[in-house]
Amino acid sequence: MGRFGTPRTMRRDRRSTGHSQLRQRLGTLRRHRSAQVKARHVLVLAALTAVVVVLTSCSSAGGSSTYSDQISAVDSFAAIAQPSIAVATEGGDRLAPDAVVEPGLPIVVTASRGALTDVDIPTSSGRALAGSLSEDGSTWTSTQPLGYSKQYSVRAEAVGVGGRTSVSQGFTTASPESLTSAAILGEKTVGIAHTIGVRFSDPIPDRRKAQAAITVASDPQMQGAFYWISDSEVRWRPERFWMPGTKVSVAVNIYGVDLGDGLYGNRNLSYDFTIGRAQTIEADDNTKTIVVKRDGKVIRTMPTSFGKDSTPTPRGIYMIGDRVEHIVMDSSTYGVPVESSAGYRTPVDWAVQMSYSGIYMHGAPWSLSAQGNSNVSNGCPNLSPADAEWLVKNTMRGDPVTVKNTNAETLSGVDGLGDWNIPWAQWKKGNADT
């Protein structure tokens, strides 16, 4: 006992601000208790006197009725004012004696009709679980995660005008059948179309539970929604592109959280990023050019060759992903065997990723004669080596690329970098239940 100050402990530790506050509070409670008890007695006496007056006035003149002059108390004031203590998980019900809790949920100890003077939850290391006390001393909340498959005991004490109360409450934490980790896809500075991607190492059975563990805050504030592009990857995006300079903070608090079927998160993580300049890219098959605008002004125009008729480049809005100096373009990544007549395995220099399915803007010196006038590629927008190098060095993850007027369907919204091709009305409804 005495983790944040019984009266005796508080006298030993004068340096603790929290203990000093509790000493002051306890002194005030003692003074007020005496005064309130005296006032209570006066009120009780006055009330009893009034009862006698009423009874006398209601008796009939000349009646023979008599009343006892013996008065006994029905309730004890101390019992009525006695402090009570409740132990629960944050946002949950009071713990039962055999409770099993998720380790990621804070333990909350609450005192009614008094203030907490001691809360102690020993850990396996012998140290007390860390926590914070509310200003009025009524609520203590743990700030340190619990361990998996552990037994804990909560010992708490409170004091009030009605006296002192102590409780002891045991509980057990959950034992996971398996653990999953999460990764956040992004960089420190990103483009205006960047969406927040959280990728788990395992398929998630309870998508809603996973979503509830993820928080997104931005300045200026932007409303957004979740959408799952696969069983193991969820995206969060606003309705519209970000404003340049927006600060965004993401927290994925999955440790100790049951994500369904006994799958728990193994650790929490966070990601802070800033939205960079407003840069957009427009790739138009009618003109066979790629035009780059920064803050509304054209800064570069590049001739290109899109996918030929048999492998047209999908239309729609893309987000730039990786930018690399060297890569091997392999048709097997999107289901076409390298050994087939339509297959290929080609090393290229200077490539900018546009989709998970293998679409890149990249250098293609073998198609220089076609760039700007005809489509000869396997689906990727071809560029000169100089233009491709410039693009790699002057783009950010999350820059939007709009492909127009090609003879193809729109890029799938769950392709990985095609989030903006899902209409907002559909996106905001989410798909956690599907």
Query: Element (H or E) spanning 290, and its range?
Result: strand 289-294
Does the annotation count 19 as an active-site position? no
Query: Tens of pLDDT along 398-407?
Result: 999 999 999 9
**Is 2.60.40.3780 the CATH classification of the domain at 7-35+79-173?**
yes
Q: Residue 337: what pLDDT?
A: 85
* Domain range annotation of the chain: 7-35+79-173, 178-276, 279-421
Q: Residue 49: what pLDDT?
A: 34
Q: Residue 132: what pLDDT?
A: 97
Asked if residue 4 has pLDDT above 60, the reply is no
Could you tell me the pLDDT band of residue 126, with boundaries at 50, 70 and 90? Answer: confident
Write out the two tokens for 138: 């009524």
Q: Residue 79: what pLDDT?
A: 67
CA dist 273 and 293 (Å) reads 22
Residue 376, Cβ density class (10 Å: 0-12 exposed, 13-18 middle, ≥19 buried): middle
CA dist 322 and 122 (Å) reads 47
Beta strands in 33-114 (DSSP E): 84-89, 100-101, 107-112
Could you tell me the pLDDT band of residue 14, with boundaries at 50, 70 and 90? Answer: very low
Q: What is the mean pLDDT of residues 102-123?
A: 96
Q: Residue 70: what pLDDT?
A: 52
Q: Residue 46: what pLDDT?
A: 35
Query: Tens of pLDDT along 302-358?
Result: 999 999 999 999 999 999 999 999 999 887 776 778 888 778 888 999 999 999 999
Q: Residue 36: what pLDDT?
A: 40
As a whole number of Å, the end-to-end CA separation of the chain is: 49
CA dist 223 and 232 (Å) reads 23
Q: Which CATH number fits domain 178-276: 2.60.40.420, 2.60.40.3710, 3.30.930.10, 3.30.390.50?
A: 2.60.40.3710
Mean pLDDT score across all residues of the chain? 86
Beta strands in 35-106 (DSSP E): 84-89, 100-101
Asked if residue 26 has pLDDT above 50, the reply is no
CA dist 197 and 401 (Å) reads 18
Strand, coil or helix: what is 402? strand
Which of 99-113, 311-325, 333-347, 375-389 comes out lowest in average pLDDT?
333-347
Does the annotation count 32 as an active-site position? no
Active-site residue, selected from the candidate residues 19, 32, 58, 362: 362
The amino acid at 340: S
Q: Residue 89: what pLDDT?
A: 95
Same fold, 7-35+79-173 and 178-276: yes
279-421 homologous superfamily = L,D-transpeptidase catalytic domain-like (2.40.440.10)
Query: Tens of pLDDT along 82-92?
Result: 999 999 999 99
Q: Residue 134: what pLDDT?
A: 97
Q: What is the mean pLDDT of residues 245-259?
A: 97
Q: What is the mean pLDDT of residues 361-389?
A: 97
Torsion sign across C-alpha atoms 313, 319, 323, 328: negative
Q: Residue 338: what pLDDT?
A: 81
